[in-house]
Amino acid sequence: MLVHSLCIPKKDVVTISEKATLREALHTLEETGYRCVPVLDETGTFFRGNIYKMHIYRHGMNGENMDDNVMTLIKNTQKYVHESDGFFEVFFSIKELPYIAVLKDESNEFYGILPHGKMLGMLEEAWSRDTGSYVLTIALSEQAGALEKITKVVNKYTSIASLMTLDAKSKVVRRVLVTLPPDCDEDKKNKVVSKLEQKGFRIVEVENLNN
C-alpha cells in the first residue's frame, strides 16, 4: 500500500506527550532540529495534533508563560490519514504540511508519519525523471482517443516509461507529458516526434533528461 511504503513508523518518530509543557516541547524541537513534531496522548497511543517551533517562539516573545501545557498551541488536530487511504486523499491532505500523521485503520492508533518529501519523491519517481531519456510535452485539444493515438505512435519506435496529463480543468487545451525510456536514443526520439506531428499533435517541448 502507498502509505505503508512511504511511512516512517512510530518507533522512529520523535513525539511529545500531551502532558508536556511548551518549554519541554521547545527543548525537544531544538534538540532534534525539527520545526514541528506530533503530540500524542499520555499513553503514547493516540494522535492529538502537531506542535510547531514557530508558535512556541511567538508565544514566548509575547510574554506568555512557557510552562503552559503544550495543548495550548496544538495545531492540525484533524490532519491525518489512515493506513489504507489512497493516493489522492493523502496527496491533498498533506499539501501544506511537512508531514501527515498516519493512523491505524480500525483502532485509530498513531502508526507513524508520511513526510512531504517522500510524497514528492514518489511523484518524481513515477515521472521517471531519473531513469528516462526524453520528456515530450504534447498539447492537444479535447479529442476522443487522443491518448490512444499518442501511445500507438510511441510504441512503434520505443516504449513509454511514464505518461502524465495536465490541465484537467482546461476546456481549451491539455498537455500530455510522455517520458521515453533510458534506451531511447535521439534517432528514435526524432522519429516519435516527427510521427506525432504528422498525426496533428503539437509538440510544445522536448526535454533531454540525459543532460
How high is the pLDDT of residue 119?
79
Q: Are 99 and 146 in contact (CB under 8 A)?
A: no
The whole domain housing 84 covers 2-123
The total domain count for the chain is: 2
For the domain that residue 42 is a member of, what is the CATH number?
3.10.580.10
- What does pTM read for this prediction? 0.69
* Average pLDDT of the segment spanning 177-191: 91
* Average pLDDT of the segment spanning 91-101: 87
| Domain shared by 104 and 195, yes or no | no
The pLDDT confidence band at residue 168, using thresholds 50, 70 and 90, is low
Give the integer Cα–Cα distance in Å for 43 and 187. Answer: 63
Q: Are 114 and 102 in contact (CB under 8 A)?
A: yes
Q: Are 174 and 164 in contact (CB under 8 A)?
A: no
| Domain shared by 62 and 143, yes or no | no
How high is the pLDDT of residue 143?
64
Q: Are 98 and 119 in contact (CB under 8 A)?
A: no
Give the integer Cα–Cα distance in Å for 19 and 105. Answer: 26
Statement: residue 10 has pLDDT above 60: yes
| Domain shared by 73 and 156, yes or no | no
Per-residue pLDDT of 114-157, as tens digits, reads 998 887 777 666 665 666 788 899 887 766 688 889 999 999 99
Q: Which of the listed residues 123, 155, 183 is the one where a domain comes to its end?
A: 123
